Amino acid sequence: MSELFERVLLLKQLPLFSGVDTEDLRIVAHALQEEIFFKGERIFDMHDNGDRMFILTSGKVGVSIHPDPARQEFIVERGTGECIGEMGILDDQPRSATVHVLEDTHTLTLEKTRLQELIIRYPALALGILRSMSEKLRDASARINR
């Protein structure tokens, strides 16, 4: 049970799900699966299929957009509570970056097909995600105006 609350809070703090009510996030929380990656592994490579998103519950990863997936030139590092590959589960575009595991990393993964299934069953999830996306768009627009 305690795990459920932690997962709900973790999801709520992600930009993608910030507009979804915590009560609806319980449904998503149940669909999350744990996965562990070890230092030196790559979670995914650029141009891979974006079939799931990863929420980091511990550890650290580096994001590289170098065409050579083996090169460790990171544009950004992500740590606990952050998310990678979230756009991939909404669109059908391939991965736009490679993610290297910098420290042993525990993740919670959400598969695209599972999310789609949940959205079909619970349209409130889609509305919440749309609300989050609209807020992101509004922020981006405000930043551009500045």
Partner 1 sequence: MSCTEKAATQDLSGVNPLDRLLMISAGERPRLMYFVLVFFLLGAGMAIGRGTTDALFYKRYGIEYLPVMYLVLSLSLMLTSIVYAAFSDMLSAERFFRLIIPILIVLLIGNWALMSFTTLRLAFPVYFLVYEIASEVLLVHSMLYLAQNLDTRQIKRLSPLILAGMQVGVICGGLFLATSSQTIGVQNMLLVWGGLLFAAIASMSRYHRRSGTSPLYRPGKRTRYPVKHAIAQIYQGARFARQSKLLRNLSIALFFMVITFYVLCYSVGRIYTETFADEAALSAFFGALTVTCGSLALLLQIFVTNRVIRSLGTKKANLIFPLAIGAAYTALLLSFTIVFAVFASILKDTFMPAFRNPVRNLFFNALPGYMQGRSRAMALVLVLPLALSTTGVLLLIAQRTDEPLTFLIIGAASALCYLYFSIRSNRSYLASMLATLREKVFLPDRADLENLNPEDATVSDELAKGLRHPDDEVFVAYAKTMLRIAPEQAIPPVFERLKTASVRSVEQLIPALSKADPDGLRKLLEERFQPGDVPCPPAVLNALIEPGAESPALDRHIENAMRSDDPRQRAAGIHGVLLRGSSPDQADAWKIWQTMASSTSDAEIIAALDVLKHLPTAMARNGIRELPGFHALYGHDNPQVRLSVVKNLSLLRSEARHTMAEAALEDDHPDVRAAAAQFRFLSGDDTRREAFEWIMQSRISPRAQESILRCVIDRCDSPSLLESIVRTRIDDARQLLLVQRQLHDQHATGAHRAALELVGLILQERHDQLIQLALLALEHLENPVTVATIRAGLLSGDRAHIANACEALRYINNRPLGALLGDLLETPEHEMAAVPADTLRSILTWCSKRADPWLRSASLHALKDLPAHV
Quick check: 11 and 82 in contact, CB under 8 A? no
Token match 């996965």: residue?
A: 35
CA proximity to 8, closest of 52, 69, 55, 44 = 55
The reply on whether position 121 binds partner 1 by CB under 8 A is: yes
The reply on whether position 71 binds partner 1 by CB under 8 A is: no
Q: Which of 34, 35, 73, 135 binds partner 1 (CB under 8 A)?
A: 135
Nearer to partner 1, 90 or 124 (CB): 124
The reply on whether position 124 binds partner 1 by CB under 8 A is: yes
Nearer to partner 1, 12 or 66 (CB): 12
| Alpha-carbon span 13 to 131, nearest angstrom | 14
Instruction: Please identify, among the stretches 36-44, 53-61, 100-108, 128-136, the one whose residues bind partner 1 according to the rule CB under 8 A.
Output: 128-136
* Closest distance to partner 1 from the beta carbon of 140 (Å): 13
DSSP 74-116: EEEEE-TT-EESTGGGTS-PPPSSEEEEEEEEEEEEEEHHHHH
CA proximity to 97, closest of 42, 144, 57 = 42
* Closest distance to partner 1 from the beta carbon of 83 (Å): 17
Binding residues for partner 1, rule: CB under 8 A, are: 1-2, 5-6, 8-9, 12, 18-19, 21-24, 26-27, 121-122, 124, 131, 134-135, 138, 142, 145-146
